[in-house]
């Protein structure tokens, strides 16, 4: 054993000291494996039945195009009532209801064969198709507002959202006056007058809500 001149223990010499054991090397880590991409959505999965509604609804000129559930519309007839709902794919559907129900917002005044014009521009023209693949209307329902004098309405320009409400409701937009015959002169200048050929022939005045409501 080598000693220092003073006889003490030799100083540590990094060049002669035995090498310290090295820690085992870590394996190289590459970039993370990406998650597999989901398969693309098929066109059929994206497309729903598009036989329906190209709606241009404005008071005084109501129009709508719709679809029906298969087999349901064979029972629709003049004098029955219903309400409309939005369906997937931008179409509309209808549900029949008692004419005394608050949900029954429309009355069928006439049922016409094929794609046909109603007797007046104030009707909602609702076309019925036989199935999802049909491109030809089998019937046209001529829909009039199912209202009586004193009723109040909200969302009057949306055929699927229009509803009867209490006249004290904050959402009430119009109060109804119904007159038999062609009596648009009974409506005030601020009213919206709708004429229905019927039967019965009648005029509906939609009066904006105000202090008299």
Q: Are 179 and 130 in contact (CB under 8 A)?
A: no
Q: How far apart are the first and last CA of the chain?
A: 116
67 or 94, greater pLDDT = 94
Q: What's the pTM value of the predicted model, to 2 decimals?
A: 0.65
Phi-psi category of residue 205: left, alpha or beta, with phi > 0 → left and psi -120 to 50 → alpha: beta
Residues 13-36 pLDDT 10s = 555 555 555 555 555 554 444 433
Share of the chain above pLDDT 70, in %: 61
Whether cis (ω within 30° of 0) applies to the bond prior to 21 is no
Return the CA Rg of the chain: 38
Integer Cα distance of 173 and 210 in angstroms: 9
75: helix, strand or coil: helix
Flag whether pLDDT at 212 surpasses 80: no
The overall longest dimension of the chain from CA atoms, in Å, is 134
């Amino acid at each position: 054993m080598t000693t220092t001149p003073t006889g003490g223990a030799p100083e540590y010499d990094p060049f002669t000291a035995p090498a310290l054991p090295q820690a085992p090397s870590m394996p190289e880590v590459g970039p993370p494996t990406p998650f597999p991409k989901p398969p693309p959505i098929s066109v059929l999965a994206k497309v729903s039945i598009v036989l329906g509604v190209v709606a241009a609804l404005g008071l005084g000129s109501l129009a709508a195009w719709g679809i029906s559930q298969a087999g349901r519309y064979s029972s629709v007839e003049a004098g029955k009532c219903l309400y409309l709902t939005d369906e997937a794919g931008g179409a509309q559907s209808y549900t029949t209801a008692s004419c005394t129900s608050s949900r029954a917002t429309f009355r069928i005044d006439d049922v016409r064969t094929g794609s046909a014009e109603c007797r007046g521009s104030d009707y909602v023209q609702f076309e019925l198709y036989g199935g999802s693949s049909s491109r030809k209307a089998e019937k046209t329902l001529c829909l009039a507002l199912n209202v009586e004098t004193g009723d109040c309405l909200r969302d009057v320009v949306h055929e699927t959202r229009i509803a009867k409400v209490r006249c004290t409701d904050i959402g009430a937009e119009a109060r109804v006056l119904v007159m038999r015959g062609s009596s648009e002169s009974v409506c005030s200048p601020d009213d919206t007058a709708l004429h229905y050929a019927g039967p019965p022939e009648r005029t509906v005045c939609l009066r904006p809500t105000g202090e008299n409501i």
